[in-house]
Amino acid sequence: MNIVVIGAGIIGLSCGYELSEFGHDVTVVDAGVAGAGGSAGNAGWITPFLSSPRAAPGAVRDAVRSFTSTDGPARMRPHPELGFATWVINFLRASSKARSSRATASLQAFSRNAIGHFDSLADRGVAFEQYTNGLAVVFKERQNLDHYQQLAAKKRSLGYDGGITVYRGADVAAFDPAIRRGVAGVMHLESERHVRPETLTAGLAKAIVANGGTILEHERVVELAPGPQKWTVVTSENRSLIADHVVVAAGYPSRALLRPLGISIPVEASKGTSMTARGEGVTPSHPLKLYENMVACSPFGNAVRLSGTFDIGRRDTTLNRKRLDMIVRQGLGYLEDWRPTEIDIEWVGHRSTTVDDLPIIGPVPGQRGLYLATGHGTLGVTLGPLTGALAAREIAHQQEQQALEPFRLTRFKGPNKAPDVSRLTHPQTHIEQPTDTGLQ
């Protein structure tokens, strides 16, 4: 079969790779350079533990604050486009305790299988930089660590079975001497991992080509035309690609791409930023979630990446110097003496965030051969290879994957596209506060 994948981020490349493994003729088309969108400068964490939606209790309070805040990790700025206000209202609705509990349970169940898919890629020869020494959450305030231990107990009740160790006092420096003396403590999530995301997208792109596939760069898809049997995908270079199946994995621009077909998806951009640098002082040996400031610190060999911010409604790609400086300043506040001396990359990128902050994965009803894989929010790295593997089975073998049920497009009901919560799995599970929606 001829399959066109639109978008060469971690999601599109994972789908493309798995489909090429089944022997299909895969073309991945990207408006820019493969792997250079939201999948490039992120923290790279593979984190089943933090797989929770940001649509969670407290979101209303945070949203109100965020309209005026200049130095918080999350910001919401009204976007003039019709539909933004509806998106915000539905996001806040999905943040109720009951709905976010169900969504968390669905994500926890799904992400449980995420790590194995990274091993599967490596076993099949996909080359990427991966680190397997866990993820540490660092707390300045003791009560936050205490609350987090309650959260860990709730995650356990949802089936999280990774090792967890808490370090306090002098044990923190023994665990990772790069962490500033005097923090309240650290929770080490031993089975989490991290990758250098640019190497993962590069490895997947290379593997697709090795399997006989094609990657087209600098070609924006401008039209998707259904035919009686096949799709025509028209690019900005006036190329027409004929496909049996089309996978739309274009991040938040998927929404604009699908609109002419009368398909509405409730996805919004949330802008993040990062700095990657080499430096002097003790480099962290673990990726660190710097809890109070929601900054992510990811060591990649001799480089360190500090990333964060969740600016909803910001679709521009301009580097906001103040936001980046805030992340760096706040991040360094948790480190003993590591300081950047040589900046390698300053980056902005967008997560595609749905109103319930769950991904959309599956066929588009009424559009034979059209498949959607987007809206992975803060979890595209974690869930990318898993999404690709399951989506490929559905597309190539028509084998419906039960694990994808909570993530179907059909969960959004009515003209406003509010999620229909009855379709989420685990309706009996409730998670009390505290929640941690992460900000990776």
Least separation, in Å, of the C-beta of 255 and ligand FAD? Answer: 10
Q: Please report, for residues 44, 128, 136, 159, 208, the alpha-carbon distance to residue 278 in angstroms, rounded to integers and kept in the order given.
A: 17, 20, 21, 38, 32
Least separation, in Å, of the C-beta of 178 and ligand FAD? Answer: 19
Report residue 281 as tokens.
């002082």
- CB distance 162 to 190 below 8 Å: yes
Least separation, in Å, of the C-beta of 197 and ligand FAD? Answer: 7
Please identify, using beta-carbon distances, which residue of 43 and 55 lies nearer to ligand FAD.
Answer: 43
Please identify, using beta-carbon distances, which residue of 30 and 176 lies nearer to ligand FAD.
Answer: 30
Give rounded-to-5 percent helix, strand, coil for the chain: 35, 25, 40
How far is residue 61's CA from residue 66's CA, in Å, rounded to a whole number?
A: 9
Least separation, in Å, of the C-beta of 423 and ligand FAD? Answer: 22
Across 406-428, b (16+ Cβ under 10 Å) vs e yields bbbbebbeeeebbbebebbebee
At 394, is the secondary structure helix, strand, or coil?
helix
Report residue 146 as tokens.
């205490």
Least separation, in Å, of the C-beta of 257 and ligand FAD? Answer: 5
Least separation, in Å, of the C-beta of 130 and ligand FAD? Answer: 13
Chain residues that interact with ligand FAD, rule: CB under 6 A: 6-12, 29-32, 37-39, 42-45, 220-221, 249-251, 253, 257, 272, 274, 307, 349, 351-352, 374, 376-382, 440
Please identify, using beta-carbon distances, which residue of 39 and 106 lies nearer to ligand FAD.
Answer: 39
The maximal CA–CA distance of the chain, rounded, in angstroms, is 69
Please identify, using beta-carbon distances, which residue of 115 and 184 lies nearer to ligand FAD.
Answer: 115
Least separation, in Å, of the C-beta of 335 and ligand FAD? Answer: 18
Please identify, using beta-carbon distances, which residue of 148 and 184 lies nearer to ligand FAD.
Answer: 148
Please identify, using beta-carbon distances, which residue of 184 and 187 lies nearer to ligand FAD.
Answer: 187
Positions of E strands within 258-302 = 267-280, 288-290, 295-300
Neighbours of 283 (CB within 10 A): 18
| Amino acid occupying residue 382 | T
| Amino acid occupying residue 343 | I
Please identify, using beta-carbon distances, which residue of 106 and 274 lies nearer to ligand FAD.
Answer: 274
